[in-house]
């Protein structure tokens, strides 16, 4: 029993992420549903849980000063309550006395009376300064990127990678690091439902997305409550992901255009859009290495007779090379381009993840280039703007391949502005309202 269900749900999520490696975007909706927390309480729980997780790595130095010890020496329950309390004190309009007293109550619920004194004392010390004062005290000096990263609640290495991808424009980095609360994006799957029908079903909080002709944005509400989402005529899919599938389907190929491959298809969002865009008589093969993700692709494709799903390692293909007209390689990546939807991700990812992934990414791009026939195209996509995963992988693969050429991906995204200097295309949340998807299109030259 709790007298504060919203804060209790928030701290349970913060704790589960810290202690059990949970994913907030999966756990929080489940807790809210199970505990029948709705309306403004659900919105408050979400703001507290997501905000605390986004900023946990810069709240910890503040907690450390307040506790006079490193947060990783505290019990996870205490650490989570302190992070949540510090977030409320420094980043919300919750009055300080309420932030402290509700945190003491949560501490009592989670850890018993022996920890309430500690929580009370630490949060009173945290409350002695506001966030700008803590930034002055704790952010690195003589390091504009490090200071901005601290102020906005990002690890420095991610801010530095963003700065590289933005062409060293510090003012734009400032905009890019401003967290926004993303709306839910839906896709109206072609040949299953029109966007007009989906808009009508979705009600007054829905609006048409600005770039994809299939995108609908929901300002509020639970997409799982929509019949079209439940029966698969529509799906939850960021508009940037829709643009990737559209680019893969729309860039011109020389010669026939019937045989398409999605080499990294799970869970199937882009495959479902590709299937709906196939030309008359066209076929799509959707592959994923992981069996349970292949099952999800099958569900998303909803027994579409033009599509087949295989469990396959696309670096050791189960198909004949040089036979596909189009290949999509939407490779596994750090996912940092979708940080706005996964609040803990920025602190969980490490630079070593990028180093490990780019080897697999290069292998998958190489295999995709082998799979496509001369005259056909490969679309390489990542949900990360990190240059090591984008341009770095392209450069490493294409350097030894005189048989391929980069084509201007921006031409496959007509009407979408500010995609960068080309020939690749980079979407950004602060420019386009999408996840930070990267798209490159490689044509295999005719022999």
Distance between CA atoms of residues 238 and 260, nearest Å: 22
- Tokens of residue 432, six digits: 């386009």
Name which position in 7, 54, 289, 443 contacts ligand SAM (CB under 6 A).
289
- Tokens of residue 417, six digits: 């502005």
Using the rule CB under 6 A, is 266 a contact of ligand SAM? yes
CB of 385 to ligand SAM, least distance (A): 14
CB of 118 to ligand SAM, least distance (A): 42
| Alpha carbon distances (Å) from 48 to 41, 54, 90, 113, 440 | 11, 10, 12, 24, 37
Catalytic option among 259, 264, 333, 383? 383
DSSP string for 292-321: HHHHHHHHHHTT-TTEEEEE--TTS-SS-T
Using the rule CB under 6 A, is 232 a contact of ligand SAM? no
Closer residue to ligand SAM in complex, CB, 74/264: 264
Using the rule CB under 6 A, is 420 a contact of ligand SAM? no
Cα 426 versus chain centre, distance: 15
> Hey, which residues between 303 and 322 contact ligand SAM (CB under 6 A)?
313-315
Could you tell me whether strands 438-444 and 372-382 are parallel, antiparallel, or unpaired per DSSP bridges? antiparallel
Distance between CA atoms of residues 3 and 41, nearest Å: 12
x/- track of binding to ligand SAM for residues 328-357 (CB under 6 A)? --x-x-------------------------
- Of the candidate spans 120-128, 142-150, 195-203, 288-296, the one that interacts with ligand SAM by CB under 6 A turns out to be 288-296
Using the rule CB under 6 A, is 61 a contact of ligand SAM? no
Using the rule CB under 6 A, is 241 a contact of ligand SAM? yes
Name which position in 218, 265, 378, 394 contacts ligand SAM (CB under 6 A).
265
- Of the candidate spans 28-36, 59-67, 260-268, 406-414, the one that interacts with ligand SAM by CB under 6 A turns out to be 260-268
Name which position in 290, 299, 392, 411 contacts ligand SAM (CB under 6 A).
290
Supply the residues annotated as catalytic.
383
In the complex, the residues that contact ligand SAM under the rule CB under 6 A are: 241, 264-270, 287-290, 293, 313-315, 330, 332
């Amino acid at each position: 029993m709790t007298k504060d269900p919203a804060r209790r749900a928030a701290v349970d999520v913060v704790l589960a992420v810290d202690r059990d490696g949970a994913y907030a975007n999966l756990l929080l909706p489940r807790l809210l549903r199970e505990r029948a927390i709705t309306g403004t309480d659900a919105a408050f729980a979400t703001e507290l849980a997501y905000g605390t997780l986004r900023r946990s790595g810069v709240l910890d130095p503040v907690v450390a000063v307040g506790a006079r010890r490193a947060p990783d020496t505290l019990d996870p329950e205490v650490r989570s309550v302190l992070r949540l309390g510090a977030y409320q004190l420094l980043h919300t309009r919750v009055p300080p006395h309420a932030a402290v007293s509700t945190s003491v109550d949560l501490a009592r619920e989670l850890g018993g009376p022996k920890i309430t004194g500690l929580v009370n004392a630490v949060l009173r010390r945290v409350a002695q300064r506001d966030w700008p004062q803590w930034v002055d005290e704790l952010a690195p000096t003589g390091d504009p990127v490090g200071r901005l990263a601290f102020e906005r609640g990002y690890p420095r290495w991610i801010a530095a990678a963003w700065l590289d991808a933005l062409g060293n424009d510090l003012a734009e980095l400032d905009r890019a690091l401003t967290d926004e609360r993303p709306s839910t994006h839906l896709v109206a799957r072609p040949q299953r439902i029109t966007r007009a029908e989906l808009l009508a079903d979705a009600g007054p909080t829905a609006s048409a997305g600005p770039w994809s002709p299939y995108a609908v944005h929901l300002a509020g509400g639970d997409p799982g409550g929509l019949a079209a989402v439940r029966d698969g005529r529509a799906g939850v899919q960021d508009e940037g992901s829709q643009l990737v599938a559209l680019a893969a389907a729309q860039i011109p190929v020389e010669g026939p255009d019937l045989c398409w491959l999605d080499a990294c298809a799970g869970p199937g969002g882009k495959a479902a859009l590709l299937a709906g865009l196939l030309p008359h008589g066209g076929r799509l093969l959707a592959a994923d290495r992981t069996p349970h993700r292949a099952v999800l692709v099958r569900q998303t494709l909803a027994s579409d007779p033009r599509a087949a799903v295989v469990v396959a390692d696309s670096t050791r293909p189960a198909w004949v090379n040089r036979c596909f007209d189009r290949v999509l390689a939407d490779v596994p990546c750090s996912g940092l381009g979708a940080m706005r939807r996964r609040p803990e991700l920025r602190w969980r990812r490490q630079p070593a993840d990028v180093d490990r992934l780019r080897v697999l990414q290069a292998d998958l791009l190489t295999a995709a280039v082998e799979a496509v026939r001369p005259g056909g195209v490969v679309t390489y996509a990542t949900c990360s703007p990190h240059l090591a995963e984008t341009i770095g992988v392209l450069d490493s693969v294409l350097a030894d391949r005189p048989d391929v050429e980069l084509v201007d991906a921006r031409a496959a995204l007509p009407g979408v502005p500010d995609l960068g200097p080309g020939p690749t295309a980079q979407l950004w949340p602060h420019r386009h309202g999408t996840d930070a998807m990267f798209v490159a299109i490689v044509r295999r030259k005719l022999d």
